[in-house]
Amino acid sequence: MSLKIQALTRSIWVYHLATGSCNNCDIEILDCITPRFDLERFGIQLVGSPCHADALLVTGNMTTKNIPRVKAVYEQVPKPNVIIAIGTCALDHGMFDGSYTSRVKVDDILPVDFYVPGCPPKPEGMIAAVAKLIAQLRQ
Amino acid sequence: MMDTINILIFPGLIFTIILALFVAWVDRKVTARVQWRVGPPLLQPLFDFTKLMGKETMIPGQATAWLFYAAPIMALTGALVFSFTLWNANLYPDNSMVGDLIVVVYLAMIPSVAFMLGGLVSGSPHSVLGASREIKLLLGDELIIVMALMVVIIQSGGSIKLGAILDYQRTYGAVAWSPSGMIALILAILAMQAKLALVPFDMSEAETEIMGGTLVAYSGPLLAFFKLTQWIMRAMLPLLLVHCFWGGIIFSSWVSILAGLGKLLVFWVIMILIRNTNPRVRIDQALKFFTVWGGCLGVLAMILAMLGY
């Protein structure tokens, strides 16, 4: 395992991208950095700019209007990076299935590495996903 | 030979960088403890730096490329020369040149200027906004720093040599223990808060408002250089305070060196606690605070110092 990947797994900076979600997943993501869970123990930080990010958290059901914006944000995330789809909507539209505002799924647009199901997923679920992600990156 | 070791290893380049990484960790750990969290491990700033060095560098389409590359290098160079000048004055007080107090004030400004430059050429509205706020803030806090240092100069008999200020304090006691020195120290800590872009004066980098301000378009190694500059300044500006107000670091034994670094950490933890217990103010509020309240207190401290208190 290279030094680059080892340092990456110990300092994952996260950019949080909502593509038309109901805001519930976004609130649960913020729960992960509160005192009860404290993901900063593992070096995980929320950053404000996609240029600083290592991981892109995508929530929501990818409305048609949002597709060019999502692509623009994805192009600004420097490599190496990972993309995590959070919540049932990001996986297969969930309760918005068949809606005229959203015809494509997140993984039609972006190369998603990880899926976290749930409506919304619990912070414990997201932490488990992060642990699996780090284990997979280290291999 | 000794000079080379002093410049490159201790207390020069390598020691400064290790101290800067440690100071950055203290910042995150104390912040975490204030918020009742566990906080990151000791090597976290090192991991962050290594990771950023391994990432891809992206140049925004609207940016002026050569200035975009030059700004982080200029910032890091300025911060390192600033640290060398300070360490030299601490290590050999008799050897420091005339007027190096003024040189140090200018050198401490170079990283701020480089941050502005990087922000202005990167072509993002957020970073331009951050840079313009940084310019305004610099107008406010430089005035206060110069006034606070004037008190030190008056007390130590009109000397503008860092070494002479140190000698004065070793003979007659620290500047901070006099009434005028105490006022000047409090003002200087507040001005440092603005210079280091810490809350309540972090409007140039407000993460929740303009997404990191001047740094918004930087990525990869260039961002790593800017982060390292920030961490070095966070270690070195408290050292300037220790030097001018609290007798500096005495390089005679390990115990006295550790005591000096302890003084540095005391100032740094005070700044972190101010940062964690205050909200961000607006740029006009900060300027009014510095020019009206800071200016009045600064003049008062200078008058007290001239009267001998």
Contact between A52 and B36 using a beta-carbon 8 Å cutoff: no
Residue B31 tokens, joined: 């912040």
Residue B1 tokens, joined: 């030979």
Predicted pLDDT of residue B97: 79
Residue numbers in B near A30 (CB within 8 A): none
Predicted pLDDT of residue B21: 93
Entry pTM: 0.91
What backbone phi and psi angles, to 5 degrees, belong to B166? -65, -45
Q: A45-54, B88-97, B153-162, B289-298: which has the minimum mean pLDDT?
A: B88-97
Contact assessment for residue B127 and residue B213, using Cβ atoms and an 8 Å cutoff: yes
Contact assessment for residue B215 and residue B118, using Cβ atoms and an 8 Å cutoff: yes
Let me know if domain A3-138 sits in CATH 3.30.300.10. Answer: no
Instruction: Quick: pLDDT tens for A8-45.
Output: 888 889 998 888 888 888 888 888 888 888 888 888 88
Angle at B111 between CA B8 and CA B257, to 5 degrees: 40
Instruction: Quick: pLDDT tens for B36-81.
Output: 888 899 999 999 999 898 888 888 878 788 888 999 999 999 999 9
Predicted pLDDT of residue B188: 92
**What is the distance in angstroms between the Cα of B279 and the nearest Cα belonging to chain A?**
19
Contact between B35 and A52 using a beta-carbon 8 Å cutoff: no
DSSP at B61:
T
Residue B284 tokens, joined: 């006009």
- The answer to whether residue A36 neighbours chain B at the CB level (below 8 Å) is no
| Bond from prior residue into A117 cis (ω within 30 degrees of 0) | no
Contact between B219 and A79 using a beta-carbon 8 Å cutoff: no
Closest CA to B111 of B88, B140, B138: B138
Q: Which residue has the higher pLDDT, B133 or A139?
A: B133
Tell me the C-alpha distance between A33 and B138, whole Å. 33
| A101: Cβ contacts below 8 Å, ≥ 6 apart | A20, A63, A64, A65
Tell me the C-alpha distance between B24 and B213, whole Å. 20
Predicted pLDDT of residue B23: 93
What mean pLDDT value characterizes chain B?
Answer: 87
**What is the distance in angstroms between the Cα of B207 and the nearest Cα belonging to chain A?**
6
- The answer to whether residue A30 neighbours chain B at the CB level (below 8 Å) is no
Predicted pLDDT of residue A102: 83
Instruction: Quick: pLDDT tens for A74-102.
Output: 988 988 888 999 888 888 888 888 888 88
Tell me the C-alpha distance between B266 and B243, whole Å. 13
Contact between B51 and A52 using a beta-carbon 8 Å cutoff: no
Tell me the C-alpha distance between B190 and A83, whole Å. 41
Q: A91-100, B111-120, B227-236: which has the minimum mean pLDDT?
A: A91-100
Instruction: Quick: pLDDT tens for B172-202.
Output: 878 778 888 899 999 999 999 888 888 788 8
Instruction: Quick: pLDDT tens for B247-266.
Output: 878 887 888 888 889 999 99
- Tokens 């004055």 correspond to B89
Contact assessment for residue B134 and residue B116, using Cβ atoms and an 8 Å cutoff: yes
Instruction: Quick: pLDDT tens for B69-91.
Output: 999 999 999 999 999 888 888 88
Residue B301 tokens, joined: 């401290």
**What count of other Cβ atoms lies within 10 Å of the Cβ of residue A100?**
6
Q: What is the 3-state secondary structure (H, E, C) of chain A?
A: CCHHHHHHHHCCEEEEEECCCCCHHHHHHHHCCCCCCCHHHHCCEECCCHHHCCEEEEECCCCHHHHHHHHHHHHCCCCCCEEEEECHHHHHCHHHCCCCCCCCCHHHHCCCCEEECCCCCCHHHHHHHHHHHHHHHHC
Tell me the C-alpha distance between A78 and B155, whole Å. 53
Question: What confidence category does residue A1 fall into, taking pLDDT thresholds of 50, 70 and 90?
Answer: low
Question: What confidence category does residue B26 fall into, taking pLDDT thresholds of 50, 70 and 90?
Answer: very high
Predicted pLDDT of residue B88: 85
Closest CA to B119 of B223, B227, B229, B214: B214
| B51: Cβ contacts below 8 Å, ≥ 6 apart | A4, A7, A8, A10, A11, A54
Residue numbers in A near B39 (CB within 8 A): 38, 40-41
Contact assessment for residue B101 and residue B162, using Cβ atoms and an 8 Å cutoff: yes
